[in-house]
Amino acid sequence: MKTLHLAVAHASPSPFLGAACQGAYTARVDFWFHRRACSSPSNGGFVAGNATTRFSNVSLLSVASVLPSRVTTSDDIEDRLSAALARLRLRPGLLRRVAGVNERRNWAEGESSDDATIAAGAKALADAGVAPGEVGLLINTSVTRKHLEPSVAVRLHHGLGLPTSAINFDIANACLGFVNGMSLAAGMIESGQIRYAIVVNGEDADEIQINTINRLVNSDADRDGFMSEFASLTLGSGSAAAVLGRADEHPEGHRLLGGVTRAATQFHELCVGSVDGMFTDAKALLKGGLNLVVSAWKEAAPEWKWSGMDRYITHQVSSVHTTAIVRAAKLDPERVPVTYDRYGNVGPASIPITLAEQQSSLKRGDRVLLMGVGSGLNTAMMELAW
């Protein structure tokens, strides 16, 4: 094991930086790099392994969520798909049976993901006891957005009343974005560049679901074509926010200890989405994602002892995905809470929404592991000392 100290005087923020690039903002953060053999078609089968990052003075001060008021059941969606289901001879109850999703939330009239994200951010700041004027960084991690420019972050920065000195930008990394955002923000706090950061996410699944349903009803797609768009039907809407700060200034906070990241980008074409639709090779994605998570888990073992965590907050995709992760990593299912059955897959917001629900049952000293995975494929795991 080799420790590499990075000393960087300054770097301009970029909305395209993920967890692996957080060193560009870090003056004195130690990265442990482990070289391992892993499959990659681009270089004969050997690439560098995952990176382990540790933080010594960063705490999660609060996490909050705001959910839409409109409930859309899986029966509601299947009723709208009845003609396509009948034509393909698919039995009713498909979404519950295959994904374990009973319902999801969608924004009602007068609600929006941006407004809800601002509300979640304001609640998180209030819970943390941090004034908007003290925030030095806002990172938005939303996948869905109404336009390409400007960033979603600028509207949220304005809505939260943050100071002109607060850096703000978007990070886009599929469903892994929120964990990436926390890692990047933690690096900037650790280095002394900022005192407080807020990481936010807001998702609106309406447009992609409406477009998907209309296409499936009005097309002659076969079963394979239908199932390639099945994941779009499991999506949900919601917003979340988390505030991070210095541990030495907030002994009441929940320490961010660090974690691991790993990539398997040879699978970048397995799930491709836009507002028009999301097309997924579900079986290959599950297999590739599971192998990636297990590889990262095993390589983390020399530095981290994660087999006995008090709570595992995983990305919420489906019952199949969660069961596979639990079995592969030999986790206690009682310590793996699920929200996909009620909210569906809310993208990057899934982890903070689930953590926000669980926080009232966590006690001081509990060990919590955030386990994220995103299309592409990328995974990241981050340990918290509650």
Instruction: Please identify every residue annotated as catalytic.
Output: 149, 175
Give the position of tokens 């990539």.
263
* Nearest by Cα to 199 from 210, 209, 188: 188
Give the N- to C-terminal CA distance of the chain in Å, as an integer: 28
* Dihedrals phi, psi of 143, to nearest 5 degrees: -85, -50
Asked if 146 contacts 101 with a C-beta cutoff of 8 angstroms, the reply is: no
**169, β-bridge pairs:** 139
Residue 29 CA to residue 6 CA, distance in Å, equals 7
Q: Which two tokens stand for residue 80?
A: 């709208």
* Nearest by Cα to 263 from 49, 5, 2: 49
* Nearest by Cα to 22 from 179, 149, 225, 195: 179
Cis previous bond, 337, omega within 30: no
Q: Which two tokens stand for residue 36?
A: 């391992």
Residue 255 CA to residue 58 CA, distance in Å, equals 6
Residue 12 CA to residue 343 CA, distance in Å, equals 36
Distances (CA, A) of 89 to 81, 83, 226, 227: 12, 10, 12, 13
Q: Rounded to the nearest 10 degrees, what angle do helices 282-300 and 319-329 cross at? A: 30
Give the position of tokens 């953590």.
355
Distances (CA, A) of 153 to 104, 159, 211, 242: 25, 10, 26, 14
**168, β-bridge pairs:** 138
Residue 32 CA to residue 53 CA, distance in Å, equals 7
Asked if 219 contacts 225 with a C-beta cutoff of 8 angstroms, the reply is: yes
